[in-house]
Amino acid sequence: MKKWQFNMILLPLLFTASGCGMNRQTASMEMLETETQAEERENLVLWSYYETRAQKEGLDYLVEEFNKSQQQYELSWEYIPMQDYVKKLSSVISENDLPDLILLDNPDMPSLIHSGFLEDITEQIPEKVMQDKYYPKVFDTVRSGDKIYGIPFSCNNTAIIYNKDMFDEAGLQEPETWEEFENAARTLTTQGEDGHYGFAMSAAAGEQGAFQFMPWLLATGVDTQHMEDECTREAFELIDAMLADGSMPHECLNYSQNDLTRMFLDGKAAMIENGPWAVPKLEESGIDYGICPFPEHTKRGIVLGGENLALIKGKNVSGGIEVINFCSRPEIIEHIGELTGNISPVIDNAERFKQFYPQYGVFVDQMGHGISRSDIPDWKKVCQALCDSLYQLFGSEHTTDQVFDAYVLTISGQ
C-alpha cells in the first residue's frame, strides 16, 4: 500500500519534470530556429543623411517594421553627412562598400542617374499606379525620360516661422508682401544682451543655402529656364538691405536649417525661414509660434524639397524592391511622415495629415504650387552660383551689383 502511494506521488513529479524539460527543449529549438533565420537573411544597407532625433526615429521605425514584415531580408541604415553624401558615393572604390539603397535629396537624382549609379526599376514599379498617388512635381524627380529610378520618400518646402508673442508685442500681423516683411523684420530687431534679430535664414554653402535663397528669387517672377534674368536682382537687393539695416545677421552664412531652429527657440530671431522638419522641436518647446506662407512680390515663391528612395545599380535589387514596395504602403509612409516631421509625397496621406496636425497646413497647401529644383536646367551650376552669391552677400564687402553681375556670368557661362 505504501509502495503504491509512493508511486502515485512520484508519477506526477516525473511528468512535471519531463514537461519542464520538453518546454526548455522547445524553447531552445525555437531560439535556434530564430537565430538560424536571422543568419540566413540577406543584409540590406540604406544610407541616409537624416540627423535630427525625429528623422532618426522615422528610419528606425521603417527598419523595424520592414524586418518584422518578412523573413528574407535584414535591413539596417547608416548615417552619412549631407555635405559628403554624393561625394562619398562617387569615391567608393569597392562595390562591397556601397549600400543597397540610398535616401537622397531629390535634385541629386539626375546626376546619379546620368552617371549610371541608380537602378532602373520601371518594370517593377507601374508608373500609372504611382502617378495617381503622388504630387506630380515630386514624382517627376524620380523619372528620367520614360524610366523610373526610385520613389518619393518624403517632401517639404519652406515658409516663415514666427514668434507670436514678439509679433503681438510689436502689434504686427503676418506679412503678406515683401514691403510688410521688411518692415516686420526691422521692427522686430532689438539690441542689447537679450536682443534678437527680426529674421534669419540659412546661407550655408551647398544645397541648404541655395534651397533657402531660391523662394526669394522665384518671387520676382523669374522664368525657371532663365534664372539669370534681370528681375532676380530684386532678391539680391532684398537680402542686402536686411543685412545693411541689421535685421538679419551676417552669421547666417554658417547656419544650417537645424541651427535656425535652435536660434529661434533660444529667442534670438523673431522670424526664420524653415521647413516642416522644425515642427517637432517647436512643439516640444512649448513656444507660441505661427507659420505663414512666403510674402508675395511679383508672385509667391515655393520650392519643393524632399528625399527619394533609390537602389544602387548592381546591388541587391530584389531586396531593394521589397523595401520600396513596403514604403509604398499608405500606413507606413504616413507614419514615417508623422515621426520625421515631413510631408508625405502621397497626396491623400498629406491631406489627411493636415487634418490631424493643422500646424503643418501651410506646408501641405504649398505642395501643389511649387517647383522642384530638378525643373531648373543645369541645377548644379545654378546651385553653385547661388552659394557663391550668398557668400559674397553675407561674408564680403562686395556691392549688390557686383554680386549680381558675378551670378549672371556664372549662370550664363560667360
Mark whether 134 and 176 lie in a shared domain.
Answer: no
Q: How far apart are CA 227 and CA 217, in angstroms?
A: 8
Asked whether residue 391 is assigned to any structural domain, the reply reads yes
Predicted pLDDT at 8: 44
Asked if residues 95 and 113 have their Cβ atoms less than 8 Å apart, the reply is no
Asked if residues 273 and 303 have their Cβ atoms less than 8 Å apart, the reply is no
Predicted pLDDT at 412: 87
Mark whether 94 and 177 lie in a shared domain.
Answer: no
Mark whether 288 and 182 lie in a shared domain.
Answer: yes
Mark whether 269 and 336 lie in a shared domain.
Answer: no
Mark whether 264 and 393 lie in a shared domain.
Answer: yes
The total number of structural domains in the chain stands at 2
Query: Cell numbers of 101, please?
Result: 539603397
Asked whether residue 54 is assigned to any structural domain, the reply reads yes
Predicted pLDDT at 29: 54
Specify the residue for cell string 532676380.
Answer: 232
Asked whether residue 12 is assigned to any structural domain, the reply reads no
Chain mean position to CA 108? 13
Mark whether 190 and 334 lie in a shared domain.
Answer: no
Using alpha carbons, select from 219, 230, 217 the residue that is nearest to residue 382: 217
Using alpha carbons, select from 412, 361, 217 the residue that is nearest to residue 302: 217
Using alpha carbons, select from 113, 135, 114, 139 the residue that is nearest to residue 126: 139
Mark whether 404 and 343 lie in a shared domain.
Answer: no
Asked if residues 252 and 201 have their Cβ atoms less than 8 Å apart, the reply is yes
Express each pLDDT in 279-329 by its tens digit.
999 999 999 999 999 999 999 999 999 999 999 999 999 999 999 999 988
Predicted pLDDT at 39: 63
Instruction: Report the first-to-last Cα separation within the chain, whole angstroms.
Output: 113
Predicted pLDDT at 377: 87
Q: How far apart are CA 199 and CA 182, in angstroms?
A: 9
Predicted pLDDT at 31: 54
Mark whether 163 and 297 lie in a shared domain.
Answer: yes
User: What domain range includes position 214?
Assistant: 159-301+378-412
Predicted pLDDT at 213: 98
Mark whether 312 and 242 lie in a shared domain.
Answer: no
Mark whether 117 and 54 lie in a shared domain.
Answer: yes
Asked whether residue 294 is assigned to any structural domain, the reply reads yes
- Residues 324, 328, 332: CA angle, nearest 5 degrees: 110
Asked whether residue 18 is assigned to any structural domain, the reply reads no
3-state secondary structure string, the chain? CHHHHHHHHHHHHHHHHHHHHHHHHHHHHHHHHHHHHHHHCEEEEEEECCCCHHHHHHHHHHHHHHHHHCCCEEEEEEECCHHHHHHHHHHCCCHHHCCCEEEEEHHHHHHHHHCCCECCCCCCCCHHHHHHHECHHHHHCCEECCEECCEEEEEECCEEEEEHHHHHHHCCCCCCEHHHHHHHHHHHCCCCCCCCECCECCCCCCHHHHHHHHHHHHCCCCCCCCCCCHHHHHHHHHHHHHHHCCCCCHHHHHCCHHHHHHHHHCCCECEEEECHHHHHHHHHHCCCEEEECCCECCCCCCEEEEEEEEEECCCCHHHHHHHHHHHCCHHHHHHHHHHHCCECCEHHHHHHHHHHCHHHHHHHHHCCCCEEHHHCCCHHHHHHHHHHHHHHHHHCCCCHHHHHHHHHHHHHCC
Asked whether residue 13 is assigned to any structural domain, the reply reads no
Query: Cell numbers of 235, please?
Result: 532678391
Q: What is the CATH number of the domain that holds 316?
A: 3.40.190.10
Asked whether residue 199 is assigned to any structural domain, the reply reads yes
Predicted pLDDT at 3: 43
Give the global pTM: 0.86
Mark whether 83 and 50 lie in a shared domain.
Answer: yes
Express each pLDDT in 325-372 by its tens digit.
999 888 898 899 889 989 999 999 999 999 999 999 999 999 999 999
Mark whether 223 and 325 lie in a shared domain.
Answer: no
Asked whether residue 237 is assigned to any structural domain, the reply reads yes
Asked if residues 141 and 113 have their Cβ atoms less than 8 Å apart, the reply is no
Going residue by residue through the chain, which has 414 residues, state the pLDDT in tens, using 9 for 90 and above.
Answer: 444 444 444 444 444 444 555 555 555 555 555 555 556 899 999 999 998 889 999 999 999 999 999 999 999 999 998 877 888 887 875 677 899 999 999 999 998 999 899 999 999 876 555 667 899 999 999 999 989 999 999 999 999 999 999 999 999 999 999 999 999 999 999 988 889 999 999 999 989 999 999 999 999 999 999 999 999 999 999 999 999 999 999 999 999 999 999 999 999 999 999 999 999 999 999 999 999 999 999 999 999 999 999 999 999 999 999 999 999 888 898 899 889 989 999 999 999 999 999 999 999 999 999 999 988 988 999 999 999 999 999 998 899 999 999 999 999 876
